[in-house]
Amino acid sequence: MALGKLTPLKRQTVLVALLFSLCACASGPKSPAPPKLPYSSWYVGLAAPRFMEVWVETVDVLDQRGLAFFHVSGGVASYTRKPEGWHKGGGSMMPVSNVDLPERIFLRWQSLVEPQAYKIRIPIPQWVRDEMVKP
C-alpha cells in the first residue's frame, strides 16, 4: 500500500511511528557501567634505562570486560639512575580511571637513540590482576 493512498489519520500514524524509530536510532549505545574496583583508578608507569631515551607514542588497554581504551598514557618516560638493571618501580605515572583491570596492554614507542619504532602486546595474567585489587 503506497503512502499516498492512506487516509490522513493513518498517514499521520505512520509518520509518527517513523519519527520515533529514527529517534531511537539517534540516541546511540549506552555507556558501559563503571568497573567495580576498590579504588577510583590504577596507574601505568613508564620508565627507561639511562641513556636509552624513548618517546612512548601510546599505551592502549583492553580491559577484562573486553572494552578497548586508546591512548591512556604516552609521552616521555622517566629514566633510571643507572643504565644496567631493571627499574624498581614508579616512573612517569598516569592514572587510568573508569577502566577495569587490564587483560592486555599494547605499547608503542620510538627509540630516540636509534631511528626505530617498537610495539609490544603484554598479556596480564590473572594473578597480577588479583594483586592489583589487594589493599
Tens of pLDDT along the chain (135 residues) come to: 555 576 777 777 777 676 666 655 555 667 777 788 888 888 888 888 777 888 899 999 999 999 999 999 888 777 766 666 666 666 667 888 889 999 999 999 998 888 899 999 999 999 999 998 987
Helix (H, G, I), strand (E, B) or coil at 70: strand
The amino acid at 97:
S
CB 129 within 8 A of CB 101: yes
| Domain spans in the chain, listed from the N-terminal domain onward | 41-132
Report the C-alpha gap between 82 and 87 in whole angstroms.
Answer: 9
